[in-house]
Amino acid sequence: MTLNEKKEEKSQTLKNESNSDSWIIGKEFRFEAAHQLPNHDGKCARLHGHSWRGVIYIFGNKLITSGAKQGMIMDYGDIKKYIKPLLDNYLDHYHLNETTGLTNPTSEAIAKWIYEQLEDKIPGLVAVRIDETCTSQCIYSKGKIDFLMF
């Protein structure tokens, strides 16, 4: 299949999916952490900290039809249960270079790291957003970014 044929097939798939109901929900989380970017050519090469903000995005085209979670893609409380161990054991009030195993924990690397920790646990996970500062953010998705319209 040629590249143009693949693009056309993907476009048609998205068009077909857009004809049905779909939702993207997001659950915000926050943490305080330090990091150091050893290869950076400025002040970020030094150890420093941020008040980080993140959002877990989940896509669904079917809602739960019965029970206490009826009408939801997923309960926000359940999403919180998945992110809490990462916050408690690796992110909140930690030195990210040490706890994540990332040599160069940029926003991009942290977003991808969080996504990879959660991708087998959260059905419908499409992206992780990380805000390093109030004006600087990154969204990571593993080939699913087409679902996100920002």
The predicted pLDDT at position 9 comes to 59
pLDDT in tens, 9-62: 544 555 555 568 999 999 999 999 999 999 999 999 999 999 999 999 999 999
| Paired residues of 139 in beta bridges | 129
Choice among 9, 17, 93, 116 that is catalytic: 93
Rounded Cα gap, residues 125 and 118, in angstroms: 8
In the annotation, is 93 catalytic? yes
In the annotation, is 44 catalytic? yes
Please compute, for residue 114, the number of CA atoms within 13 A of its CA located in the half-sphere on the CB side: 38
In the annotation, is 132 catalytic? yes
pLDDT in tens, 137-150: 999 999 866 655 54
pLDDT in tens, 75-127: 999 999 999 999 999 999 999 999 999 999 999 999 999 999 999 999 999 99
Phi, psi of 111 (to 5 degrees): -60, -45
Choice among 44, 95, 108, 138 that is catalytic: 44
Residue 1: pLDDT over 80: no
